[in-house]
Amino acid sequence: MATSSSDSFFIATPIFYVNDVPHIGHAYTEVAADALSRWMRQSGIPTWFLTGTDEHGQKIMRTALANGVTPREWADRLVEQSWKPLLKTLDLANDDFIRTTEERHESAVKKFLTLLHDKGFIYQGEYEGFYCVGCEEYKPLADLEDGAGEFEGSKLCPVHSRPVEVLKEENYFFKMSTFQQDLLDLYAAQPDFIQPTSVRNEIIAFVNRGLDDLSISRSNIDWGIEVPFDSEHVTYVWFEALLNYITATGWGSDDEAFAKKWPAVQLVGKDIARFHAVIWPAMLMAAGLQPPKKVFAHGWLLVGGEKMSKSKLTGIAPTEITDVFGSDAFRYYFLRAITFGSDGSFSWEDLSARYESDLANGLGNLASRVIAMVHRYRGGVVPALPSPTPADRAIAATMKDAVAAADAAMHAFAPHEALGELWRIVEDVNGYITEQEPWVMAKDDAHAARLDAVLYTSLDALRSLAVTLSPFMPQATSKLWEALGASHSLGPLAEQHIPEAGSFGVLPEGSAISELAALFPRIEQDS
């Protein structure tokens, strides 16, 4: 029986523009999508995670020319040397990677354009406006800033702080204005269609001001997908790039695959929310297709109070962090330290402090001391659990409550809250061990049964943490799972059902555990 898309979880990141190498702002989006998709997949929900690259447009054509190569050569180089390696750097478990230069994309884009043209939603006309090459977008005058200094007398793009160009072209237009009321009806019928609320309010205000038709072709460049009904034009890069979410999903070539996966949750940065919450659903409505399930616009990463930017040279390469702290710490930090949906400031000092307090001294120390005590006091074998005391039951209650709360938080797209809930287990078990003093019990055989209970309770809490933290920190949790012997006694970590991970008494007694190297080794700080 085919799976209904209402019972599945399809999450897509924006496809990233290959005019330059990725920075941690791009990586933040990727890691959030990956953690959400891993969580849903381990919750038994059919899941599909899409990412990829956007490779057409004027900016890439100019960048390639400046570097003495063709646009295709430039795109191939950046994808293979920088963007695809990012998947490994961040431990991403994406199901597909779409490139807009792939034939499957280009052919489906042409089908989509033909469909809209045949339905009367595309017409030819003349357009004059302010164009930002960096954004690959026409800008309303109200959005522009007045230039000063060397840019005196010019209008500047607020994103790039560079002068916009005045373009006058004979283009094809999409009748986006037709869908103004349909969009407002969509937002009203689905209050959570756009999140967070601040972005939702901004989008609704924008649409209420009135929508213009959208210029969707260019005749002054040739690096793009040819308009199927006019070889003199190529498709506007944003219009065809948005289509990747359905061209990768099977639209136009595999109706069954498309029906299983669509609609998608669109995870985007807030600066491109309008494209995804206004233009994109209007395009789909015109084609008679279902709009996305949700558009979630996360905030910006700020460095020194400014949004990270390639053009302003404020971008930080993900490997600058992962080479020192590892991919798990990267993933944990950005998903815990920043309220998802709001802007967040990155600093090396905060990253170092959280690595030491939360990971090395928190989770890492807890795992090391429990595994070491089981080896020291019980020969590396999981002891039996005698009748639990109120202290043991309190840990069991924390596990149950924290996992349930974390599950609710992930379904609400709040990974920062989910991690906060799961860290209650880390903190409570660390406190429990300090209070119970198993090292004292070990000196007196009369306390053997009580020692068994403390060790078992601590081990089972680690089992719960390994399962629930695996979407966030796949490497460390895999090592912990192996050390607990759980892969032999319970099966592969990836097959553990997250909603049940808060149950107590799951780790089988009598199973052997192995040694555990430090999950988060101390990092020598430069003086």
Verify whether residue 307 is a known catalytic residue.
yes
Please state, in angstroms and rounded to a whole number, the distance separating the CA atoms of residues 142 and 58: 24
The reply to whether 105 belongs to the active site is no
The answer to whether the bond into 191 is cis (omega within 30° of 0) is no
How far apart, in whole angstroms, are the C-alpha atoms of residue 350 and residue 353? 5
Number of Cβ within 10 Å of residue 446's Cβ equals 8
Q: What H or E segment, with its residue span, contains residue 180?
A: helix 180-189
Of 111, 117, 175, 310, which one is the catalytic site residue? 310
For 292-354, the DSSP string reads PSEEEEE--EEETTEE--TTTT----HHHHHHHH-HHHHHHHHHHHS-TTS-EE--HHHHHHH
Residue written as tokens 């695809």?
84
Q: Residue 36: helix, strand or coil by DSSP?
A: helix
Written as one letter, the residue type at 326 is G
DSSP H stretches of helix in 379-473: 390-411, 415-436, 438-441, 448-469
Q: What share of the chain is helix, strand, coil (3-state, %, to 5)?
A: 50, 15, 35
Catalytic residue among 56, 157, 261, 479: 157
Enumerate the β-bridge partners of residue 21: none
Question: Taking Cα atoms as reference points, which of 99, 5, 10, 105 lies closest to residue 49?
Answer: 10
What 8-state DSSP symbol labels residue 141?
Answer: G
R_g over Cα of the chain: 26
Annotation marks residue 310 as catalytic: yes
110 is catalytic: no
* CA neighbor of 13 nearest in space, from 38, 50, 54, 53: 50
Active site residue 411: no
Given the residues 23, 233, 270, 298, select the one marked as catalytic.
23
Alpha-carbon gap, residue 282 to 187, rounded angstroms: 12
| Cβ–Cβ < 8 Å for 60, 99 | no
Number of Cβ atoms within 10 Å of the Cβ of 502: 24
Amino acid letter, 119: K
Active site residue 23: yes
Q: Of 84, 307, 400, 447, which residue is the catalytic one? A: 307
Which helix (H) or strand (E) element contains residue 172? strand 165-174
**3-state DSSP assignment of residue 169:** strand
233 in active site? no
Check 26, 56, 59, 155 and give the catalytic one: 26
| DSSP β-bridge partners for residue 122 | 174
Using CB atoms within 10 Å of the CB of residue 232, give its burial: 0 to 12 exposed, 13 to 18 middle, 19+ buried. Answer: exposed
Catalytic residue among 111, 117, 160, 400: 160
Q: Among residues 56, 59, 132, 293, which one is catalytic?
A: 132
| Residue whose structure tokens are 């003086």 | 527
Does residue 160 have an active-site annotation?
yes
Distance of alpha carbon 385 from its chain centroid, rounded?
Answer: 40
Q: Catalytic amino acids?
A: 23, 26, 132, 135, 157, 160, 307, 310
